[in-house]
Amino acid sequence: MTRKLYILNGSNLNMLGAREPHIYGTTTLKDIEQNCLALAEALKFDCVFRQTNSESQLIDWIQEAFLQDAALIINPAGFSFGRIPVLDAVKLIRRPVVELHITNIHRRTEEYRHSSISVAATAVICGAGANGYLLAMRAMDDLWGNQT
């Protein structure tokens, strides 16, 4: 059985490495993608890795993941906070969903503390930096194996 995994990234994550490195670090999204694709191969995931600054594009990709019966790791970034259309799309996913944030959103200012996506997530990883992506993939491997 092929295990399809979508790793989707929201707004401004294309600027990782340059955007507020004191908060987000200096690792680029391209670096993260390369690490994720290498781990996906080792874990035997068929992996799709994408980033968009467009909410409608993100929703289209989540719906595509649903149609592919894929699991989802999502770093919704700015689309985390009060974005009901993204939440509704995430609720479609039948496989595990891991929500991911590079920073610990619970230690940030109030507007960054409450992700609407979390209610639909199987698990949430935040505050582990760029390494959070690899942690999310390892968690996904375990969650997929435990899914009935």
The pLDDT of residue 148: 42
Residue ranges in 7-148 assigned as alpha helix (H)? 21-24, 29-43, 55-67, 84-90, 132-146
pTM of the model: 0.93
CA–CA gap between residue 101 and residue 108 (Å, rounded):
12
Query: Binding residue per annotation — 35?
Result: no
How many domains does the structure of the chain reveal?
A: 1
CA–CA gap between residue 35 and residue 133 (Å, rounded):
9
Q: Could you give the C-alpha distances from 100 to 2, 90, 138, in angstroms and in order?
A: 23, 13, 13
Query: Binding residue per annotation — 2?
Result: no
Strands in 3-9's sheet, in edge-to-edge order, are 45-51, 3-9, 71-75, 97-101, 123-126
List average pLDDT for each run of 10 residues in the chain, which is 148 residues long: 92 89 87 98 97 96 98 92 87 96 77 75 94 97 77
Query: Binding residue per annotation — 103?
Result: yes
Please list, in sequence order, all residues whose beta carbon lies within 8 angstroms of the beta carbon of residue 67, skipping any fewer than 6 positions away.
none
What token pair was written down for 63?
A: 């719906």
Give residue 73's domain range.
Answer: 3-146
Query: Binding residue per annotation — 46?
Result: no
The pLDDT of residue 107: 74
* Catalytically active residues, by annotation: 24, 101
Q: What is the CATH number of the domain that holds 141?
A: 3.40.50.9100
Judge whether 61 and 8 are in contact, CB under 8 Å. yes
